[in-house]
Structure 1
């Protein structure tokens, strides 16, 4: 866990700034790629079903 937090033995100075910058850039690129991927159809179907269920509950409360 200490590697992910950018710390080693509780001291960030153990990691060279260039290495830390490269880790940051790679993590940002990975997150960006994952965030731009389309959701699987099964997940979008589930979300739609939940939205419909929520809408029906709200309509029944009025």
Structure 2
């Protein structure tokens, strides 16, 4: 593609559709963060269930 027809930002980045690349990068970072939180919550729920199986009753360490 020639340099005249390229749609670039002032910073020199190629656009991602109609969006600035920073918006696309933020969306990917938000998706990664949600994925990490989902994995952590799944692990915590599994630990809580295992704790309830081994030691039933008593105070709950997690609120779910």
Q: TM-score range by the shorter chain?
A: 0.3 to 0.5
TM-score, normalising length: structure 2: 0.38
Structure 1 or 2, whichever has the larger Rg, is: 2
Q: Which has the higher contact order (CA 8 A, sep 6+)?
A: 2
Bigger helix share:
1
